[in-house]
Amino acid sequence: MPKRSILHMFDPMPNNSPFDINMALDAGFDVLVPYSNVKLESIHHLTQDAIFSRSPSGIKKTAIFIGGRDMGLAVDMLQAAKPAMVPPFEISVFADPSGAFTTAAALVACVEKALKDQHGGALAGSKALVFGGTGPVGIATGVIASLAGADTVLVDHLSVDSANDAAKQYSRRFGAKLSGAVAHNDSEKIALIADADIVFCTAKAGIRVLNAAVLAQARRLKVAGDVNAVPPSGIEGIDVNAMAEPLTTATESAGAVGVGALAVGNVKYKLQHELLKSLLETDEPVYIDFRDAFSKARTLV
Encode pLDDT of 268-288 as tens digits.
999 999 999 999 999 899 999
Arithmetic mean of pLDDT, 70-76 = 97
pLDDT band at 290 (very low <50, low <70, confident <90, very high): very high
Residue 57 scores a pLDDT above 90: no
Q: What is the pLDDT of residues 239-271, one digit of tens each?
A: 999 999 999 999 999 899 999 999 999 999 999
Average pLDDT over residues 57-83: 95
Please state, in angstroms and rounded to a whole number, the distance separating the CA atoms of residues 123 and 263: 19
Query: Quick one: what percent of the chain has pLDDT higher than 90?
Result: 94
User: Which band of pLDDT confidence, cut at 50, 70 and 90, is reported for residue 1?
Assistant: low
**Strands 243-246, 257-259: pairing kind:** antiparallel
203, pLDDT greater than 90: yes
Domain covering 6-99+267-300 assigned CATH 3.40.50.10280 in the classification: yes
pTM of the predicted structure, to 2 decimals: 0.97
Q: Where are the domains of the chain?
A: 6-99+267-300, 103-264
Please choose, from the candidates 125, 182, 188, 187, the residue with its C-alpha nearest in 3D space to the C-alpha of residue 152. 125
Instruction: Judge contact between 245 and 257, C-beta under 8 A.
Output: yes
Residue 143 clears pLDDT 90, i.e. is over it = yes
The predicted-structure confidence for 144-174, as pLDDT tens digits, reads as follows: 999 999 999 999 999 999 999 999 999 999 9
pLDDT at 132: 97
Q: Which architecture, in CATH terms, is 103-264?
A: 3-Layer(aba) Sandwich (3.40)
Question: Can you tell me the distance from the alpha carbon of 97 to that of 293, in angstroms, rounded to the nearest whole number?
Answer: 12
Same topology between domain 6-99+267-300 and domain 103-264: yes
Share the mean pLDDT of the chain. Answer: 96
Going by the DSSP 8-state scheme, the letter that residue 5 receives in this structure is P
> Which are the contacts of 32, defined by CB distance < 8 A and separation ≥ 6?
6, 7, 9, 21, 24, 25
